[in-house]
Structure 1
Amino acid sequence: MIEILEKYIPQASVVPVFELIQTHNVHLKIVNQRVTRHGDYRRMPNGQHQITVNTSLNKYRFLITLIHEIAHLEAFEKYGRLIKPHGIEWKRTFQILMLPFLRPEVFPNQLLPLLARHFKNPTASSDTDATLSLALKQFDPENDKNYIFEIPLGGSFRLYNGRIFKRGKKKVKRYECVEIATGRVYLFNPNAEVEFLK
């Protein structure tokens, strides 16, 4: 397992993450990219804990995602299955689990202040923190995707499923976008990755 973890997370985090996996008897599955999520946790019918994480994540996002899912496991074990998945119990658990990793041996110096701010009140996805998401993206392999906020007003873009939209105005935190084929309006997170149609 250590050899596998070395491929996906920063070297200084491998041993403590391995210990967390062993302590909780986690079956870690590294899977092909899913568009809708970076990872997930589920308790299997046999009682074993299964965590899946996308193979395509850069090593910093992979580590954050893995600890996010282990926090679900710990929070459910400690507080019971009736808690909100991303409620206060999960937030506190996630903060405690991430704290030992928020150091320059694990994350680049430019990410540390953004991570410290994010983990004061962690959200259900690091993607909803636009500043952190953009900072993490610089460690991704090159791709032809843009964030919604980078698309000009009135510009068109395509989703992974082929649907085409025109970007509208920002409404509080999200952007109103009109699907070209149906005329229906949808709200998009500013840092949703899409293909800009020039």
Structure 2
Amino acid sequence: MEGTLAKYIPEFAVSPAFELIVTHGVHLKIVNERATRHGDYRKALNGKHEITVNGSLNKYRFLVTLIHEIAHLVAFEKYGRNIKPHGNEWKHTFQQLMVPYIRPEIFPNQLLPLLARHFRNPSASSDTDTTLSLALKQFDAQKDNANYVFEIPYGTVFRIKNGKVFKKMAVRTKRFECIEISSGKTYLFNPNAEVEIIQM
């Protein structure tokens, strides 16, 4: 398992991450990419702790996702199952588990201050921290000219991964209002949502 882990996370994170997996009895499954989530944790009926992580993630996002999911397990065991999944107990646990990894042997220098800032008050997904998310995306395997909602002009029509088509309309605080063409409903998009521009 340690050898497998080495293919997915930075070299100096392998031993401590493997130790966490063993200590908490994690059954780790590396799965094909899911558009809706990077990973998840569940306690199976047989009592096993199952964590799945998308194998397509770059090594830095994979590591953050793995620790995120282990933090769910640890928080539930420490505080009980009635806590909110991304409440204060989970945030505190995630911070404690992640801090030892935020160092230059593991993450590139340009990510360190962004990670330090994010982990002062970690969110349910690193994707909601636009600055960190875009910085992490720089390490993805090259994708064909990704466009992000924040950078396309207002009025642009675009498609998302599930095939739905939208038009960018306005900005609301930190997110963008976009109208779904087929239904006329308004949806809010994170600035770093990847989209495919449709030429009209």
TM range (shorter): over 0.9
Amino acid at match of 1:181: S
Partner of 1:108: 108
Deviation for aligned residue 1:150: 1.6
Q: Deviations over 1:155-188 (max 9, x none)?
A: 1110111111111111112111011122111111
Matches within 5 A, 1:158-169: 158-169=159-170
Deviation for aligned residue 1:26: 0.4
Using the size of structure 2 for normalisation, the TM-score is 0.97
Partner of 1:66: 66
Q: Distance in 1 between matches of 2:56 and 2:153?
A: 28
Partner of 1:197: 198
Q: Distance in 2 between matches of 1:128 and 1:186?
A: 16
Partner of 2:156: 155
Q: Deviations over 1:2-46 (max 9, x none)?
A: 111011000000000000000011000001111110000000011
Deviation for aligned residue 1:197: 2.1
Deviation for aligned residue 1:76: 0.1
Q: Distance in 1 between matches of 2:49 and 2:152?
A: 40
Q: Deviations over 1:100-143 (max 9, x none)?
A: 10000000000000000000000000000000001001000111
Partner of 1:33: 33
Matching of residue 119 in structure 1 with residue 127 in structure 2: no
Matching of residue 184 in structure 1 with residue 185 in structure 2: yes
RMSD of aligned C-alpha atoms? 0.8
Moved over 3 A (4+): none
Q: Distance in 1 between matches of 2:153 and 2:35?
A: 23
Q: Distance in 1 between matches of 2:191 and 2:106?
A: 28
Q: Distance in 1 between matches of 2:46 and 2:14?
A: 27
The 3-state SS of whatever aligns with 1:97 is helix
Matching of residue 174 in structure 1 with residue 170 in structure 2: no
The 3-state SS of whatever aligns with 2:170 is strand
Q: Distance in 1 between matches of 2:36 and 2:14?
A: 26
Q: Deviations over 1:45-86 (max 9, x none)?
A: 111100000011000000000000000000000000000000
Q: Distance in 1 between matches of 2:37 and 2:83?
A: 21
Matches within 5 A, 1:42-61: 42-61=42-61
Partner of 1:19: 19
Gaps spanning 5+ residues in structure 1: where?
Answer: none
